[in-house]
């Protein structure tokens, strides 16, 4: 039995759309920060049982096509025909609103390959995780991570920006929970709707590729203001492809727009604070670590009982001792 832990990541330049749905190849490269507050732990054991089995938070669940895909890949590489018992649990601090398939499939890739006796390179693990969920390719690594869009299966993988997977400047991400109940369109369906129906989709791809260049330079310069400026603009452009889809849809909740308005107010006070948002209504604020308490005080004065989790850069996926 092999046990692995992987942390979730938040994209500062988003992945939003597949050029090849079968191979899971994205239209554009994306860039993320792995966070330290939310992780998935997954154990995998290959046995003589008749089918694959998936137990989530202690409950038997159907084995999804995405899980099967990763397990089949592992069996193929290992030349094995054994079935797997997969047990997984999520570790979320008080309602972080950070649930993500990124940590889940990165942990599955690491645990399943080890359980099959494979010693895969991290590049191979990133490709394997990508087959489960695109953003999972980035959670193999810690710190800032770049997922190269690539042109085929073997050239579409993630790499850490810093070889030591460290971030040596005080960046923080405040994950705010505004709404846990809203049902959102799953990211896979949402991005396909943008790809196939938004007239702005190709402009999104162009600007996202340009953002990779400017974001990489801003990270190298440790310029949090520039990082945040690019990330906020990139997130809103991604969301513009949902508003411009046919039929239009959005992940914004009223509270999301309220937080965005407050973020712009916070900036007028001279603080660096920027919003990013994925396929759900819960905003994440990018800021300097030393400004967190001032930002929280400001938000709390406007929104009583604000629920949030303070995140800092987190580590890559790893095998755990059992």
Name which position in 4, 6, 7, 15 contacts ligand PMV (CB under 6 A). Answer: 15
Look at residue 149 and give its three-state secondary structure: coil
Cβ distance to ligand PMV smaller for residue 106 or 174:
106
Give me the residue label for tokens 């920060």.
Answer: 33
Q: Report the alpha-carbon distance of residue 178 to residue 102 in Å, rounded.
A: 21
Q: Give the DSSP letter string of 74-128.
A: HHHHHT---EEEEEEEEE-STT-S---HHHHHHHHHHHHHHHTT----HHHHHHH
Stretch near ligand PMV under the rule CB under 6 A, chosen from 130-138, 223-231, 265-273, 310-318: 130-138
| Interface with ligand PMV, residue 274, by CB under 6 A | no
Q: Least distance in Å: CB of 73 to ligand PMV?
A: 17
Contacts (CB under 6 A) with ligand PMV, residues 84-123: 101-102
Stretch near ligand PMV under the rule CB under 6 A, chosen from 110-118, 133-141, 148-156, 310-318: 133-141
Stretch near ligand PMV under the rule CB under 6 A, chosen from 47-55, 65-73, 129-137, 200-208: 129-137
Contact 128, 70 (CB under 8 A): yes
Look at residue 252 and give its three-state secondary structure: coil
Q: Least distance in Å: CB of 3 to ligand PMV?
A: 23
Cβ distance to ligand PMV smaller for residue 2 or 187:
187
Peptide bond into 62 cis (omega under 30): no
φ/ψ of 40, rounded to 5, equals: -115, 135
| Interface with ligand PMV, residue 134, by CB under 6 A | yes
Q: Nearest CA to 318 among 57, 106, 74, 8?
A: 106
Q: Least distance in Å: CB of 218 to ligand PMV?
A: 18
Stretch near ligand PMV under the rule CB under 6 A, chosen from 11-19, 111-119, 266-274, 284-292: 11-19
Q: Report the alpha-carbon distance of residue 204 to residue 237 in Å, rounded.
A: 7
| Interface with ligand PMV, residue 278, by CB under 6 A | yes
| Interface with ligand PMV, residue 242, by CB under 6 A | no
| Interface with ligand PMV, residue 30, by CB under 6 A | yes
Stretch near ligand PMV under the rule CB under 6 A, chosen from 10-18, 91-99, 220-228, 240-248: 10-18
| Interface with ligand PMV, residue 139, by CB under 6 A | no
Alpha helices by DSSP H, listed for the chain, are 65-78, 101-115, 122-132, 187-197, 201-220, 224-243, 254-268, 292-302
Which residues in this chain contact ligand PMV in the complex, by CB under 6 A? 11, 14-16, 30, 101-102, 133-135, 187-188, 278-279
């Amino acid at each position: 039995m092999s046990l692995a832990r992987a942390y979730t990541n938040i994209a500062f330049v988003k992945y939003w759309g597949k050029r090849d749905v079968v191979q899971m190849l994205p239209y554009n490269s994306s860039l993320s920060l792995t966070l330290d507050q939310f992780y998935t732990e997954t154990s995998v054991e290959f046995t003589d049982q008749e089918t694959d089995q998936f137990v989530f938070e202690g409950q038997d669940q159907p084995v999804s096509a995405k899980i099967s895909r990763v397990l089949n890949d592992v069996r193929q590489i290992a030349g094995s025909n054994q079935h797997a018992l997969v047990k997984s649990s999520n570790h979320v601090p008080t309602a972080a609103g950070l649930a993500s398939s990124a940590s889940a499939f990165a942990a599955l890739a690491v645990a399943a390959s080890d359980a099959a006796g494979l010693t895969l390179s991290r590049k191979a693990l990133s490709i394997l995780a990508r087959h489960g969920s695109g953003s999972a390719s980035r959670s193999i690594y810690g710190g800032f991570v770049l997922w190269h869009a690539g042109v085929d299966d073997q050239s579409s993988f993630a790499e850490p920006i810093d070889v030591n997977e460290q971030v040596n400047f005080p960046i923080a991400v405040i994950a705010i929970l505004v709404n846990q109940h809203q049902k959102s369109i799953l990211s896979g369906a949402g991005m396909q709707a943008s790809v196939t129906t938004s007239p702005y989709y190709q402009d999104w791809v162009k600007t996202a590729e340009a953002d990779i260049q400017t974001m990489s330079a801003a990270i190298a310069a440790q310029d949090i203001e520039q990082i945040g400026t690019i990330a906020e603009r990139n997130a809103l452009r991604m969301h513009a492809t949902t508003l411009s889809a046919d039929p239009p849809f959005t992940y914004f909740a009223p509270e999301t727009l309220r937080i965005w308005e407050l973020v712009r107010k916070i900036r007028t006070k001279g603080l660096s604070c920027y919003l990013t948002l994925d396929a759900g209504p819960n905003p994440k604020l990018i800021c300097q670590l030393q400004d967190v308490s001032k930002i929280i005080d400001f938000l709390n004065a406007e929104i009583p009982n604000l629920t949030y989790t303070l995140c800092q850069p987190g580590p890559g996926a790893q095998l755990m001792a059992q």
